[in-house]
Amino acid sequence: MRSDEVKKGYSRAPHRSLLRATGLKDEDFDKPFIGVANSFIEIIPGHFYLNKVAEIIKDEIRKNGCVPFEFNTIGVDDGIAMGHDGMLYSLPSREIIANSIETVMNAHKLDAMIAIPNCDKIVPGMIMGALRVNVPTVFVSGGPMAAGHMEDGTPIDLATVFEGVGALEAGEISEDTLTEMECNACPSGGSCSGMFTANSMNTLMEAMGIALPGNGTILALTKEREVLFRAAAKRVCELALMKQEDQEKFKFKNILNQNAVNNAFVIDMAMGGSSNTVLHMLAIANEAEVDFNIADINKISKSVSHIAKISPSLTTVHMEDINTAGGVSAVIKEISKRGDVIADNLTITGESLLTRVVNSEIKDDQIIHTIDNPYSKVGGLAILFGNLATEGAVIKTAGITGERSFKGKAVCFDSQDDAITGITGGKVKAGDVVVLRYEGPKGGPGMQEMLAPTSLIMGMGLGDSVALITDGRFSGATRGLSIGHVSPEAGEGGAIGLVKDGDEIFIDVDEYKIELLVSDEELEKRRALFKPKVKELSSRWLRQYRALVTNASKGAILEA
């Protein structure tokens, strides 16, 4: 066992002495040591109960002949960090989480790991860390939140509240209505109830085969979820107790391989996941040493139908509805009918992905459509290219509410705060293209989510008539003609920094185009005079992050 390096032989007597102080007995030194990587933190709704989840998992690990060692990562709640400078720390937290997993697992030579994530950057951060450690690892998330409801029974969620702020600004609703939304949108613990970033990543883990069926859709704080926790804990012990030669095929990189990355993007397209999944899956592919380019996403999108539409794309459908309709397994099986879009890859539970879903079925074809009756014949995400984004920009096509082709005049803002002030102050009108820059990984730094400005646009009734482009990113709750991850970003000298108020911008989603309608000669004149703005930073960590981070087309990974 890997842990023998810290527990076997006379020279490890000091190590065993320390381990005995934690409660270990003689018999424990012959058992596998399992890292229980927990993201428990009290300020995040999807995480405040994970300390109790860890107790369930550790109990099951002990019952199955292994020794659990729980440790924690940090976490940032994007919804709470949003709209102020706290959001600068959200994407950088992904790197701290990955580093903490690598540090604890390798410093103590633990044999296997079970990871308990749920929300925001925590899921991809833990996956990235697990890839570095490369021991048998099972993921089991805390589970999605139930949808909230207005007093009249209308389903609502966190996106409803953000858009409600814009609706109040526009005089469309009263403060009492906004308060009703606030008090009812998040009724319990769990990851926010729509196909936002957390649930998108929790769903993709099923497609990658690194989590058990039901991981993305079984509601948090239910008996069904406890069954899932215990099954995941039992499985990690089965892996840890295997002979070394049998264990080899279950090393994490052998599960999360090229096929798994492909499958993640296929199901992402089929279910219209958050645009943030592009950022995170590119970073995960890098850690997995998989050859995957951002341009490859469009090839997958063209081959995969969008068959499950979930809030914010369809505001009445939430994760609990997908679960009732057959879950992610039903989506995988239905999409696999199209031939070779899904690769039949080994999963952490020992069977291949297609074997796992063979008995699954769509139980409600109004919620999960068939491939013969899709919401769209192409996937729910697209990468746009052009002189404004030579390295790509991302749009959640599943969330478009107006036309898929748009031409308008630029209204430029050099920060999210300026954009919010301009939008609420009436500076943005129907037919405009909001250009929100210096919010990329380097320019922000930290690539803030832009749910506040996009929600204001939707709430003020401009969602069908205004486009927004940014080198920042979006919450999974964003909808409308919102294009993010513009690369190169303004902070590294990208063309988005050259745009002037009144310039015409053309967007054609179906042709994967985004163009600044300015001559090459004019752009070269502007570029010769251009010097990117550099924000003053008091934070040493954010200065370090800015110095190392790459742009969004590379997954905003750090390069030393």
Rounded to whole angstroms, the Cα distance separating 496 from 484 reads 11
Is 475 among the residues known to form the active site? yes
Residue type, 19: L
Residue pointed to by tokens 């993921």: 139
Q: Token pair for residue 343?
A: 């690769």
Rounded to whole angstroms, the Cα distance separating 174 from 400 reads 27
Which residues face 35 on adjacent strands?
Answer: 69, 113
Cβ atoms of residues 459 and 170 within 8 Å: yes
Q: State how far the alpha carbon of 467 is from the alpha carbons of 168, 389, 425, 463, in Å.
A: 21, 15, 17, 8
Cβ atoms of residues 272 and 240 within 8 Å: no
The conformational region for residue 143 under phi > 0 = left, psi -120 to 50 = alpha, else beta, is left
Rounded to whole angstroms, the Cα distance separating 255 from 531 reads 45
Q: State how far the alpha carbon of 226 is from the alpha carbons of 62, 140, 194, in Å.
A: 16, 10, 21
- Total residue length of the chain: 560
Which of 363, 319, 326 has the alpha carbon at shortest distance from 141?
319
Rounded to whole angstroms, the Cα distance separating 336 from 229 reads 28
Rounded to whole angstroms, the Cα distance separating 268 from 274 reads 8
**What kind and span of H or E run contains 407?**
strand 405-413
Rounded to whole angstroms, the Cα distance separating 183 from 177 reads 10
Rounded to whole angstroms, the Cα distance separating 334 from 360 reads 9
Residue type, 141: S
**What kind and span of H or E run contains 68?**
strand 67-72
Cis peptide before 488 (omega within 30 of 0): yes
Active-site option among 475, 482, 487, 553? 475
Which of 240, 232, 238, 285 has the alpha carbon at shortest distance from 258?
285
The conformational region for residue 226 under phi > 0 = left, psi -120 to 50 = alpha, else beta, is alpha
Phi first, then psi: give them for residue 323, nearest 5 degrees. Answer: -60, -45
Measured over the CA atoms of residue 319, residue 321, residue 322 and residue 323, the dihedral's sign is positive
Q: State how far the alpha carbon of 546 is from the alpha carbons of 311, 474, 553, in Å.
A: 33, 19, 16
Radius of gyration in angstroms for the set of CA atoms belonging to the chain, rounded to a whole number:
23
Q: Token pair for residue 64?
A: 């199955």
**Residues known to be catalytic:** 475
